Amino acid sequence: MGLDSRVKCCPDGLVTDRRRRIKVLDCTIRDGGICNQWNFDHGVVRRVFEALAESGIDYMEIGYKTQSGLVDPDSVGPWRFCEEADLQEVVNSGPLKIAAMVDVGRITTQEIIPAADSSINAIRIATYAHQMDEALRLLEHCLECGYETFMNVMAVSTLGPNDVDEFLQQLAGSGIHNVAIVDSFGALYPYHVRYLVHKYMNYLGESIKVGVHFHNNQQQAFANSIAAIDEGVDFVDATLHGIGRAAGNCPLELLLFYLDNPRYDARPILDLVEEFASMRNELRWGYHLPYAISGFFNIHPRTAMDRMARADRYQVREMFETLSKPNKT
């Protein structure tokens, strides 16, 4: 039974079959890891891998590759580094592709080994627009190493339209395989998303896939994903129970319900809900006013995250008033 027929008051066929062409990238461990410094034990990560594989998800982003010496290994969990030994304990080869993120400026090319020698299939390069030259050098190395590549240009909501044009033009001829529209601050509404999807698709052309990575500060991560799907993107990022930095991401289970694609089976994902729900009280992703306000004002969630660690976290009027002053926005 198709999804449309569940809602009886509307005829079937109100949306196109663009839902059926979406590929899904789960970034539970990578983006969720920002909540707990990547301290997921190997058992959790293996269970996530197995559930995603059984569900037919396309990509699992399992963490960051990070330059050695940059972060104290005793202060974070193993998915901050994604060493081969750790990966081999939790993943098997199969149709579920393994992705790792690298931050421009926090990795050296020497530490990215040939894809043939790695459990990693895809590298996601996270960059700010002003670092694009360095991002492209990193991309060149990743392509030489044989990886499928993604470029996540962060915080697009803070750039001027011309800056977006510029980096898209650079990416169009770069050899990159996938580019994500990244709403790092949870600032976008669906009308922004529709505009950006068309811009990205127009600049990047047929050979580069366009996807989305949304944050849920204003309860728009899933809704913005729906808007993007409707406009024709190729892939969507999501996480189990919406875990992710600050308010979190698009919940994977809601996305699978919506996609209505027999290729995906939501049930193995549902088996993990209890385990992730139990983390939510401590890690505090989800709908909280400090995140909603930082999203609305289009600023980094850093100050909201600091506030969430305090007892007066919900005394938000002064936060709102400070950000409302014209010179602060």
Spatial contact of 320 and 329, defined as CB atoms under 8 Å apart: no
Binds a copy of itself (CB under 8 A): choice among 67, 189, 232, 284? 189
The window from 25-33, 102-110, 111-119, 317-325 that contacts a copy of itself (CB under 8 A) reads 317-325
Q: CB burial class (10 A; 0-12, 13-18, 19+) of residue 21?
A: middle
The window from 71-79, 83-91, 95-103, 222-230 that contacts a copy of itself (CB under 8 A) reads 222-230
User: Tokens standing for 125?
Assistant: 């390069």
Q: Applying CB under 8 A, does 128 fall inside the site for a copy of itself?
A: no
The Cα 5–Cα 104 span in angstroms is: 46
Binds a copy of itself (CB under 8 A): choice among 233, 235, 298, 307? 298
CB of 241 to a copy of itself, least distance (A): 8
Q: Which is nearer to a copy of itself, 95 or 326 (CB)?
A: 326
The Cα 130–Cα 157 span in angstroms is: 14
Q: Applying CB under 8 A, does 263 fall inside the site for a copy of itself?
A: no
Near a copy of itself in 2-31, by CB under 8 A = 6-11, 14-15
The window from 36-44, 53-61, 171-179, 223-231 that contacts a copy of itself (CB under 8 A) reads 223-231
Spatial contact of 236 and 250, defined as CB atoms under 8 Å apart: yes
Q: Applying CB under 8 A, does 222 fall inside the site for a copy of itself?
A: yes
b/e per residue, 137-166, with b = 16+ CB within 10 A? ebbeebbebebbbbbbbbbbbebeeeebee
Spatial contact of 45 and 29, defined as CB atoms under 8 Å apart: yes
Near a copy of itself in 235-254, by CB under 8 A = 241-242, 251, 253-254
The window from 29-37, 57-65, 206-214, 293-301 that contacts a copy of itself (CB under 8 A) reads 293-301
The vertex-183 CA angle with 66 and 247, nearest 5°, equals: 85
How far CA 308 is from CA of 98, 128, 152, 291, in Å, comes to: 32, 26, 27, 9
The Cα 285–Cα 305 span in angstroms is: 10
Binds a copy of itself (CB under 8 A): choice among 191, 202, 205, 306? 191
Q: Applying CB under 8 A, does 39 fall inside the site for a copy of itself?
A: no
182 CB-near residues (< 8 Å, 6+ apart): 152, 153, 154, 155, 156, 212, 213
Comparing CA positions, the residue from 251, 280, 194 lying closest to residue 18 is 194
User: Tokens standing for 159?
Assistant: 């750039």
The window from 82-90, 103-111, 119-127, 190-198 that contacts a copy of itself (CB under 8 A) reads 190-198
The Cα 201–Cα 210 span in angstroms is: 7
User: Tokens standing for 32?
Assistant: 């969720």
Q: Applying CB under 8 A, does 44 fall inside the site for a copy of itself?
A: no
Q: Which is nearer to a copy of itself, 71 or 316 (CB)?
A: 316
The Cα 48–Cα 209 span in angstroms is: 25
CB of 32 to a copy of itself, least distance (A): 15
DSSP state of 297: T
Give the x/- contact pattern for a copy of itself in 134-173, rule: CB under 8 A: ----------------------xxxxxx-xx---------
The window from 42-50, 95-103, 115-123, 283-291 that contacts a copy of itself (CB under 8 A) reads 283-291
Q: Applying CB under 8 A, does 230 fall inside the site for a copy of itself?
A: yes
Which chain residues interact with a copy of itself by CB under 8 A? 1, 6-11, 14-15, 156-161, 163-164, 187-192, 194-196, 216, 218-223, 226-227, 230, 241-242, 251, 253-254, 257-258, 266-267, 270-271, 273-274, 277-278, 286-289, 292, 296-298, 314-317, 320-321, 326, 329
